[in-house]
Chains A and B, each alone.
Chain A
Amino acid sequence: MQYSKKEYLDYLNQKSPNSTIIKDMVCAFLVGGIICVIGQAFYDLYNKALGMDEETARTAVSVTMVFLGAFLTGINVYGKIAKYAGAGTLVPITGFANAIVSPAMEFKKEGLVLGLAAKMFVIAGPVLVYGITASAFVGMIYYIIGLMGGSI
Chain B
Amino acid sequence: MNNKLGKQTVKINDVGIISSAAIVGEKEGEGPLADSFDIVLPDNEWNEKTWEKTESKMQREAVKLSLTKIGLTTENVDRIFSGDLLNQCIGAAFGLRDLDIPYYGIYGACSTMVEGISLAAQVVDGGFADIAAAVTSSHFCTAERQYRNPLEYGGQRTPSAQWTVTGAGSAILKKGEGDVKVTHITAGKIVDMGVKDANNMGGAMAPAAYSTLKAHFKELNISPSEYDLIVTGDLGKIGAEILVELLQKDGIDISPNYKDCGCMIYNIEEQDVHAGASGCGCIGSVLCGHLLPLMRKKEIKRLLAVGTGALLSPTSTLQGETVPTIAHAVSLKTRE
Touch A–B, Cβ below 8 Å: yes
Q: Which residues of A contact B (CB under 8 A)?
A: 1-3, 5-6, 8-9, 11-12, 15-20, 24, 73-74, 76, 78-79, 81-83, 85-86, 89-90, 95, 98-99, 101-103, 105-107, 109, 123
Q: Does the CB pair A17–B153 fall under 8 Å?
A: no
A20 to B160, CA, bound (A): 12
Q: Does the CB pair B153–A123 fall under 8 Å?
A: yes
Contacting residues, chain B, for A99 (C-beta < 8 A): 153-154
Contacting residues, chain B, for A101 (C-beta < 8 A): 152
Q: Would you give 22 A-B contacts (Cβ < 8 Å), ordered by A?
A: A1-B207, A1-B246, A2-B246, A2-B249, A8-B195, A15-B242, A16-B159, A16-B200, A16-B238, A19-B158, A19-B159, A24-B156, A74-B152, A78-B152, A82-B153, A98-B152, A98-B154, A102-B151, A103-B150, A106-B150, A109-B50, A123-B150
Q: Does the CB pair B149–A102 fall under 8 Å?
A: yes
Q: Does B193 contact A (CB under 8 A)?
A: yes
CB distance from B278 to the nearest CB of A (A): 15
Contacting residues, chain A, for B156 (C-beta < 8 A): 24, 82-83, 86
Least CB separation from B151: chain A residue: A106
Contacting residues, chain B, for A17 (C-beta < 8 A): 159-160, 238
Least CB separation from B153: chain A residue: A102
Q: Does the CB pair A12–B158 fall under 8 Å?
A: no
Contacting residues, chain A, for B159 (C-beta < 8 A): 16-20
| A1-B207, A1-B211, A15-B242 known; A8+B152 contact, CB < 8 A | no
Q: Does the CB pair A95–B154 fall under 8 Å?
A: yes
A79 to B115, CA, bound (A): 36
Contacting residues, chain A, for B78 (C-beta < 8 A): none
A9 to B206, CA, bound (A): 12
Q: Does the CB pair B194–A16 fall under 8 Å?
A: no
Contacting residues, chain A, for B194 (C-beta < 8 A): 5-6, 8-9
Chain B's interface size range is 20 to 34
A8 to B207, CA, bound (A): 9
Q: Does B127 contact A (CB under 8 A)?
A: no
Q: Does the CB pair B152–A5 fall under 8 Å?
A: no
Residue from A85, A105, A106, A109 in contact with B49 in the complex, judged by beta carbons closer than 8 Å: A109
Q: Does the CB pair A89–B154 fall under 8 Å?
A: yes
Residue from A1, A79, A83 in contact with B210 in the complex, judged by beta carbons closer than 8 Å: A1
| A9-B195, A16-B200 known; A79+B152 contact, CB < 8 A | yes
A25 to B72, CA, bound (A): 58
Q: Does B7 contact A (CB under 8 A)?
A: no
Contact pattern, B 124-161, Cβ under 8 Å of A = 1, otherwise 0: 00000000000000000000010001111111111110
Q: Does B289 contact A (CB under 8 A)?
A: no
A103 to B151, CA, bound (A): 8
Contacting residues, chain A, for B200 (C-beta < 8 A): 12, 16
| A1-B207, A8-B207, A12-B242 known; A102+B158 contact, CB < 8 A | no
Contacting residues, chain A, for B242 (C-beta < 8 A): 11-12, 15
